[in-house]
Structure 1
Amino acid sequence: MDARIGIALDVALLVQHGNVVGWSLTDPGRYLTTAYAEPDPNPPSPSTRRLLTECLDLITTPGVDDVVDGDPAALARLQAADKALREQHQDRQRADALLDLISTYVQDYGNW
């Protein structure tokens, strides 16, 4: 990467060899929300940050391939993430956003 060009608070364009090749968000957990709700102004809890990483690992390649293929370890991780999000009492708005993110996978592949 040749440069990061800040375009808004916490958002930057990534430039390589004179071309925009992507963008970055400094703290994605801070902006987790459902539908059109305003993000919680408080920082995300440590458990929310951990669960965001876990959920993204489960719904992107190669993790999602393991979920779709019915890999027992991946399905156990999906079940554990779903359970942890449902039981999380603090940072509820963000936990609900993550539940929305993985709900289709839980419904389609998480029949345990």
Structure 2
Amino acid sequence: MTSGFAAPDPNPSSPATRRLLTECLDLVTTPLLDAVRRRDPAALAGLRTLGHKLRNQREDRNRTGALLTLIGDLVEHYAGRPTEQKP
């Protein structure tokens, strides 16, 4: 998993990154994505919480950065505040 045209990391992802990926997939699939689109406060809070977890994940920075881009875009679009991204 990468963002843009970066080469994928040949090393396996960490268990923490795999858990965060699962959380991301849960939030970007129906019905939770529908709740985000309706600007449901609980769904938006879940996006912000996930963005915070991704920013604080120290392993697999390239992978978590790609996930953070996705979640940050959703937060910016539906909640009106961008998720801060750190390298």
TM-score (norm 1): 0.66
1:108 corresponds to which residue? 77
Cα contact 1:79–1:110 (8 A) shared by 2: no
How many residue pairs get matched?
81
CA separation of 1:79/1:33 partners in 2, compared to 1, >3 Å: closer, same or farther? Answer: same
Match of 2:7 among 38, 45, 61: 38
What amino acid does structure 2 have at the position aligned with 1:80? T
CA distance in 1, matches of 2:77, 2:34: 13
Kindly, what percent of the aligned residue pairs are identical? Answer: 56
CA distance in 2, matches of 1:51, 1:67: 18
Note the 1:28-107 alignment, pairs <5 A: 32-107=1-76
Structure possessing the higher relative contact order (Cα contacts under 8 Å, 6 or more residues apart): 2
**Structure 1: runs of 5 or more not aligned:** 1-31
Q: Which of the two has greater helix per residue?
A: 2
CA distance in 2, matches of 1:101, 1:111: 15
Aligned alpha-carbon RMSD (Å): 1.4
**Structure 2: runs of 5 or more not aligned:** 82-87
- After superposing on structure 2, the runs of 4+ consecutive aligned residues of structure 1 that deviate more than 6 Å are none
Q: Which of the two has greater strand per residue?
A: 1
Cα contact 1:58–1:78 (8 A) shared by 2: yes
TM-score (norm 2): 0.82
Which entry has the higher C-alpha Rg, 1 or 2? 1
